[in-house]
Structure 1
Amino acid sequence: MSKPQFAILRFAKYKGPEISNIEAHNERTKENYASNPDIDKSRSHLNFHLVTPQRKYRAETEKQIAEAGCRTRSDSVRVVEALVTASPEFFKGKKKSEVKAYFQEALAFIEKYQAKDTIISAVVHMDEKTPHMHLCFVPLTEDGRLSAKEIVGNKKKLTQWQDQFWEYMVKKYPDLERGESASKTGRDHIPPRLFKEAVHLNRMKEQIMAILNDTNPFNKKAKLDELEALLGKYVPGTEALRTKLRKYDKAYKALSDENSALEAELKTAKDASKERIADRLKYGKTEQELCELHALIDNMPPEIVAAYRRKTTGLQNER
């Protein structure tokens, strides 16, 4: 039995300085992408635009907002990014022209609901594991207001976006299934970039442990320099990621409790109810994702903690 193929649409909102960061990622303007080891730079020439930016994201955003005469605050959402993709299985065996056609169809869908001239970039990345499109637009409403809340909305509105996206795409791609929504799974989606960060940090941890185990009087100076550089990235990076994950812990705890109750209910349920319970349980199983993330970054080896303390104490003594 072949795996299901899902049509996937996600939204993210950006307010200020982070707009430059997403531009650097989307437009591949950085030399190195240490936080995203999945990028294969030898394939970056295969990336392509469906909408090419006319200027820097932030400059284009401010230009459109000024022309619309919108009032803004420092915490106003200035850019909404739509991430469009599909299950890896959907892209298997497809030519670049066929992949491009999928994203052109998705762009046409978004242009049905968002003015074409507010879209500042739509770029398809072919240099990561699964082709995907980053489409950024200024959230201006039809009557010229800046309102990401009105366009993207709450969970109910997001569910409607998902429904409409699937209904639109399935006409051309009948094998596609609707992507699961946060309202149905009872959780917020964990962004793929957090998994990439965790994997990258775990690789760094392995490098640190290798250095600690391989240091001897002959290579001590060179090894310590290398160790300090890695520790300065690994420990703060791990703490930052742990903070990001806390927002998901509460939702997953509730999901885990619900799973336990459902599993108990399934054992005594009548045949007519079993399918309904099993379906709810299937979505609940996704809590495994969070457990995997925590397993990658929790339980920092005591050797690393001790080495980091020595490093920070040494820096303080130098001041």
Structure 2
Amino acid sequence: MGYAVLHLEKTSGTDSAMSAHIERTIAPKNADPERTHLNRELIKFPDAVRNRTEAIQHRLENAGLQRKIGKNQVRAIRILLSGSPEEMQRIEADGKLNEWCDDNLRWLGETYGKENIVSAVLHLDESTPHIHATLVPIVTTERRKKKSEEQVKKQYRKKNPNAPRLSVDDVMTRIKLKEYQDTYAEAMAKFGLQRGIDGSEARHVSTSQYYRELFAKNEDLKENIEELLQQQENNKKELSKVKSEVSKEKFKNAKAEMGANLMVGVNSLFSGSKVKQQQAEIEELQLENTALKDENHSLKTELQTAQKEYEKITDKLRTELRRIYDLFPNLRELLSIERMCRLVGFSDDLIKRILTGDKVGFKGSLYSAEYKRKFSTEHSVAQMQQEPKQPDKLRLTIDGVDIIEWFRMKYREFQRSVGIDWTEKSVGRGRKI
């Protein structure tokens, strides 16, 4: 089992920098721009509220607060909800991501009050799916007294203890933080996510700290690359120097060898046995050379024979294949349907039934190479049919429509499920989404 990830962090000021990160008005380096359109806001904003910053202010203005908000008072809490990367990717692949989002929103509402959760954005353009929720810490319990206040004997008129207050300290006590981890793990257990080790020294890294560390690592890498390039240049110079020295040494050795051979030649003039020995060696080498030439010629002949035999067999197979296609005109189409069935993920048993022309009911997932993803169905019918306008052509249909059109319908359903409306026109580009 993987681990459930829950992290709370206080904000400062309007928290505009984090809003830019969450709403992708500024694209972070670790996000895939081709998947950013999959991100979505899970909470509907009130009328006239356009973004996270306005949602925070709207809640503060409509909470019925009696005290003035201090300049340095924490107005919102960031909540990160996720899980171990492998488990979150499995949840997404199994089609349970929407259910996971619903359970997260339910837990947030039950734990902090539904009206206090003003934003919850699902990010799917980073390596691990996760939710950025925003909590305005409005509480209605009686304010905890400071020790200095408890010692004061003078009595003042008590205010309503149940009046709404903005208090991050009441929300983020040590005991409550531990309770949040426990209850969140219980809510996520159905997805195979468990609580982290209680008391572990592992700590969450904030977004700003992550980017600072990432920048530092990049700088270190640049320095290491520069050092390696300099070392490479030094190695090239050293290698060139060594090659030069080796060449000089070879030249010296060659001169010495030539001198020695010259002496042997001079001595051989006075030694008839040496001349005879060298002549015998030359004749032996000539015989070996002749044998190698004969062997080479024999190999070439064998190769040419094998090549002709291969071409003969290939021509015969082509002729037989053309004859088969002439006798069975639908064979090409059947093979095409078989390849398509195998590509989208049908089993061998289902493929055999489809190729007989039967209507084959099935459930599960089919893979679309066009959209590079799987689409699920609880019950569909696959059938091989003739093309309406070309009776000699065959096509694979799902639920009565061509499989390509079926995939397009499924993709549109998927886009609508993540908040993309096909009827909505893209502003500034002049085309439909």
TM-score bin, normalised by smaller chain: 0.5 to 0.7
Aligned residue for 1:8, secondary structure, equals: strand
Q: 8 Å contact 1:52–1:122 — kept in the other structure?
A: no
Q: 2:170 matched to 1:150?
A: yes
**Structure 2 partner of 1:243:** none
Choose which of 183, 197, 221 in structure 2 pairs with 1:164. Answer: 183
Cα drift, residue 100 of structure 1: 2.3
Distance 2:102 2:116 in 1: 17
Q: How does 1:10-29 map onto structure 2 within 5 Å?
A: 10-17=7-14, 19-29=15-25
Query: Contact (CA 8 Å) 1:49, 1:124: kept in 2 or not?
Result: yes
Describe how 1:275-286 pairs up with structure 2 within 5 A. none
Q: Secondary structure at the match of 2:138?
A: coil
Q: Could you say what secondary structure the match of 2:91 adopts?
A: coil
Check if 1:66 corresponds to 2:61.
Answer: yes
For 2:105, the equivalent position in structure 1 comes to 107
Q: Which residue does the alignment assign to 2:206?
A: 191
Structure 2 Cα separation of the partners of residues 185 and 16 of structure 1 = 31
Alignment correspondent of 1:121: 119
Q: Relative to 1, partners in 2 of residues 1:94 and 1:190: Cα closer, same or farther, differing over 3 Å? A: closer
Which residue number in structure 2 is paired with residue 92 of structure 1?
A: 89
Q: 1:177 aligns with which of 162, 171, 194?
A: 194
Q: Which moved more, 1:155-164 or 1:188-197?
A: 188-197
Q: Name the larger-Rg structure.
A: 2
The count of corresponding residues between Structure 1 and Structure 2 is 202
Please give the TM-score of this superposition, normalised by the length of structure 2. Answer: 0.42
Tell me the distance in 2 between the aligned counterparts of 1:25 and 1:209: 30
- Label 1:14 to 1:5 Cα distance change in 2 as closer, same or farther (>3 A): same
* Corresponding residue of 1:47: 39
Q: Deviations over 1:103-131 (max 9, x none)?
A: 22011011002222222210111111111
Is the CA contact 2:89–2:128 (under 8 Å) kept in the aligned structure 1? no
Helix, strand or coil for the counterpart of 1:77?
coil
Shift of residue 211 of structure 1?
Answer: 6.9
Which residue in 2 is equivalent to 1:141? Answer: 139
Task: Give structure 1 stretches of 5+ with no counterpart.
Answer: 216-319
**Amino acid aligned to 2:213:** A
- Match of 1:203, SS? helix
Aligned to 2:128: 130
Whole-angstrom distance in 2 between the partners of 1:127 and 1:63: 28
Q: Which whole-Å CA distance do the structure 2 matches of 1:203 and 1:138 have between them? A: 36
Unaligned runs of 5+ in 2: 141-162, 231-433
Higher strand share: 2
User: CA-atom RMSD, angstroms?
Assistant: 2.6
Decide whether aligned partners of structure 1 residues 51 and 98 sit closer, same or farther in structure 2, where only a CA change above 3 A counts: same
**CA displacement at 1:194 relative to structure 2:** 2.9
